């Protein structure tokens, strides 16, 4: 019975794989033939089963072809969350962002911007694996330092150990930062054409500034159906229905 169970699971996995590939091919064919809405629905159906950077990228392309800049930017961003070095997604994201109305640059201290760029160069799992590998190097270096009788080897082991430990900590902090970012999902894209940010979380609040679709914002907090967002040097309240989290 156990062998039959294993065989059935194996066959089921093969069938599911073939069906998923068939659905992917059908969506690609629809895109190639200009049936962008059909292609987008195909990619979305596959994404409902399993997140994948290629599917997000293709969905972004389909939405861009439909003139839906906000959805295109959103899906390129999601593709880059899974694969930070995805060059095609980076290029298409930059191109789509050049088409939106708002052109807001974050005024960060250059070290903060530099650190964030390094953090975003790899995904969470890669940073964690790198941290573990470097920590193993640290342990090896410590053991060589303690057990070796050769002075040159002890010195080399000592330097390897502290350098590996330093970079292990940095890698671990990057992994933790990305985990927090992806868990909180506090970055979002404005999905409505024009949105007025209010001074308070209600309709009677004063209009502070205007945002347009495709703009990326950071959510500071939420209250009922409102979100307090930060973008550039501006901060205000907008409805949650006006944005979608990355």
- pTM for this predicted structure: 0.83
Can you spell out the DSSP letters for 85-126?
T-HHHHHHHHHHHTTSS--------HHHHHHHHHHTTS-HHH
Compute the distance between CA of residue 173 and CA of residue 177 in angstroms, rounded to an integer.
6
Who's near 233: CB < 8 A, 6+ residues apart?
A: 107
pLDDT tens per residue across span 199-224 = 999 999 999 999 999 999 999 999 99
Confidence of residue 12 (pLDDT cuts 50, 70, 90): very low
Contact 49, 57 (CB under 8 A): no
Q: Is 51 helix (H, G, I), strand (E, B) or coil?
A: coil
pLDDT tens per residue across span 141-163 = 999 999 998 999 999 999 999 99
pLDDT tens per residue across span 28-81 = 999 999 999 999 999 999 999 999 999 999 999 999 999 999 999 999 999 999
60: which 2 tokens?
């972004």
């Amino acid at each position: 019975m156990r062998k039959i169970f294993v065989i059935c699971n194996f066959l089921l996995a093969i069938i599911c794989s073939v069906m998923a590939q068939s659905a992917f091919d059908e969506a690609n064919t629809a895109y190639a033939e200009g049936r962008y809405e059909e292609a987008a629905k195909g990619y979305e159906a596959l994404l409902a089963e399993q997140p994948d950077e290629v599917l997000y990228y293709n969905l972004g392309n389909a939405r861009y072809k439909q003139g839906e800049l906000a959805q295109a930017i959103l899906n390129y961003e999601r593709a880059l969350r899974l694969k930070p070095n995805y060059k095609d997604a980076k290029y298409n994201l930059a191109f789509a962002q050049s088409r939106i109305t708002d052109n807001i640059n974050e005024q960060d201290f250059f070290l903060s911007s530099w650190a964030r760029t390094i953090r975003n160069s790899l995904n969470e799992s890669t940073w964690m694996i790198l941290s573990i590998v470097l920590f193993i190097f640290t342990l090896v270096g410590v053991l060589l330092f303690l057990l070796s009788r050769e002075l040159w080897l002890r010195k080399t082991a000592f330097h390897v150990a502290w350098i590996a430990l330093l970079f292990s900590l940095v890698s671990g902090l990057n992994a933790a930062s990305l985990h927090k970012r992806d868990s909180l999902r506090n970055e979002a894209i404005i999905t409505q054409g024009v949105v007025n940010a209010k001074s308070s979380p209600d309709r009677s609040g004063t209009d502070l500034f205007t945002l347009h679709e495709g703009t990326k914002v950071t959510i500071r907090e939420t209250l009922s159906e409102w979100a307090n967002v930060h973008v550039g040097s501006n901060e205000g309240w907008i409805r949650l229905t006006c944005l979608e989290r990355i």
